[in-house]
Structure 1
Amino acid sequence: MPEITLRQLQYYVRVIEHGSVTAAAAACHISQAAVSMAISQLERSLETDLLIRSRSKRVAPTPAGREFAAHARAVLARVAEAEEAMTDHRDLMRGPLNIGFAQSISPRLMPVLAEHFTTRYPEVELGFREGAPSEIQDAVRDGHLDFALVYELQAAPDLTPVRLIDIHLHVMLPATHPLAGEPGIHLAQVIGEPAVLLDVPPTIERLTSIVSDLGLRMDVRWRSSNMETIRCMVARGLGYSLINSVPATGATFDGRTVVYLPVLDAVQGNALVGVLPSEHRPSRRVEEALEALRSA
């Protein structure tokens, strides 16, 4: 049985996070020699190299080191949870909580969690990362994020999805469009017009598949990775768009207006989900965040 200490795990995770032994030592307020010794002892115990050292003194994890880092973070998180469980008061919840958001989801839910934890659990160290679904799910696998928020159809099969909020596909139209006043819309009613779609993989592929299943084909004329840019283009009558997360207002950045009509076709269902590492039990902080999101 390898002799591994929590201190070694803490130093190793710090080295991975900071990219060098020197920076990790400074963050831990100890000597560089102490960190180097702990990492060397850890590698001997595991009988494998965890780090790739360079002449510039920068380090990067080996494939084995990358996998081990995820387990090390999970162990440290469980220890923190055990310490926290010894208190009689839930209001004393504290510790780090790092969450990833798909870019189209973050405006809707990131402020909700920031307000929730700032108001109720100010000692929780809340961190956010926005990015493409594939990017933030990689960060969950690597242990950099506790969980990530994506659409159900984007969820990776090797992560555990937790269904949070049901959503419905909508068509975004300019407020001046002849169909803008309708209570709902069939995609065939706008399919001949240019489409303006979110260019964040795999969004376009998913939407194209949904439309193809109805025997239709979109004319994807414009693409943008910025939803506000898309809203402004639609408001100017340059096309329509398809959207899952509907804002509370139709006002655009440049003062124009769009409307959102629910799609009446029978399309594949979707939902906002939290994706968690499959092999780890969620912490109390994660459970609290998921519950807050269900009520959002």
Structure 2
Amino acid sequence: MNVSYKVMKYFAAAAHHKSLSKAAAEMNISQSAISLAVDSLERELGLSLLNRQRSKGISLTVKGQEVLTRIQSILDQVDNFERDMLGLQEDISGDLHIGCFTPLAPIVLVPVLKRMITAHQAIRANIIEGNVRHIFDCIHRGEVDVGISYDEADISAGLKTQTLAVVPPHVVVPYDHPLAEMPTIPISALINQNLILLDLPSSRQYYTSLFETAGFQPKFAYKSGNYEMIRSMVGAGIGIAILQTCPPIDYTQSGTKVVCKPIRENLRKSRLVVAYTQQAIKRNSVKAFVQQCEAYFTTEASRRLIVSRKLA
């Protein structure tokens, strides 16, 4: 028996579309070539595989359905083999362009990047930081291969995202502040405090909405677009803030100490995601980076970044 891969592909396409003309269009060949391929397969097997009806197209005979099932299994195995071979041919090396929401870069991207470079030493990472919208725009434009950020449905549309963690907001207070003694802080306790806002696109709307959802109109005494600046301002006693991921150390860059406390109410959480295009994920280096992201967020170190209420 001598049945070629090409003949099997043409027969499977005809059976799938139930039309010789549509199969020909998909395969980018003439309809007569499809017809000849099916005829040759029938001769080789000694079976009638298709019912041909001029007005209704084609349909599979009982034997044709059995043959299609076996042929499709063979085609799937060939496709899997080709993918595996491509994977072997593509070393995980070279430049990987990574975007990251700025506050997440030192506490999330760095440990993920360390894992990536340890596993794949030939990788060279080029990093772009920015606000949420900028990171997603860079992914859309192909300026980065993959990005880590909080998800915003309106700007991540069209991209593939994988959730790494669901992150609740928390309060950051000076270590000697009265609120630091409370196991959880009600959002109503923040109304008369000097509040500091992380003033970045998307972030400002998110933090403002937390108060509005709880029925309060927030009054921010100070604003900054720098995450660590806000923590240092809190440590200096200038005000308090609501943030999300919590660095693994209590000290700020200015040497002062702060405490991260959970909020008592169950407020809206954010999805921390790794995002990429459907085309980018075909690259082994992007797949490997996504896998390292997922692996990191199974560790105890990653869990310490998230401040949650302890439920009774």
Q: Which residue of 2 aligns with 1:234?
A: 234
* 8 A contact 2:171–2:262 mirrored in 1: yes
Provide, for residues 158-208 of structure 1, a one-character-per-residue CA deviation record: whole Å limited to 9, x for no partner.
322211122221100111110102221111111221211111111111111
Provide, for residues 74-115 of structure 1, a one-character-per-residue CA deviation record: whole Å limited to 9, x for no partner.
xxxxxxx9885234xx9x522332110011110112211331
CA distance in 2, matches of 1:274, 1:282: 15
Q: CA deviation at 1:280?
A: 5.3
Counterparts of residues 169-208 of structure 1 (less than 5 Å) = 169-208=169-208
Structure 2 gaps of 5+ residues are 1-82, 297-312
Q: Which residue of 1 aligns with 2:291?
A: 291
CA distance in 1, matches of 2:279, 2:268: 29
Q: TM-score w.r.t. structure 1 length? A: 0.67
Q: CA RMSD in A?
A: 2.1
* 8 A contact 1:164–1:290 mirrored in 2: no
* 8 A contact 1:192–1:218 mirrored in 2: no
> Aligned pair in 2 of structure 1 residues 243, 160: CA closer, same or farther (>3 Å)?
same
> Aligned pair in 2 of structure 1 residues 119, 195: CA closer, same or farther (>3 Å)?
same
Find the structure with the greater CA-based Rg.
2
Q: Which residue of 2 aligns with 1:254?
A: 254
CA distance in 2, matches of 1:220, 1:277: 37
Counterparts of residues 1-296 of structure 1 (less than 5 Å) = 85-87=87-89, 92-153=91-152, 156-278=156-278, 281-296=281-296
Q: CA deviation at 1:220?
A: 0.8
CA distance in 1, matches of 2:114, 2:267: 34
Q: CA deviation at 1:211?
A: 1.4
CA distance in 2, matches of 1:176, 1:86: 57
* 8 A contact 1:194–1:218 mirrored in 2: no
* 8 A contact 1:99–1:128 mirrored in 2: yes
Q: TM-score w.r.t. structure 2 length? A: 0.63
CA distance in 2, matches of 1:211, 1:150: 23
> Aligned pair in 2 of structure 1 residues 147, 203: CA closer, same or farther (>3 Å)?
same
Identity over aligned pairs, percent: 23
Aligned residue pairs: how many?
213
* 8 A contact 1:100–1:128 mirrored in 2: yes
Which shifted more, 257-266 or 93-102? Answer: 93-102
CA distance in 2, matches of 1:286, 1:94: 11
CA distance in 2, matches of 1:83, 1:100: 29
Structure 1 gaps of 5+ residues are 1-80
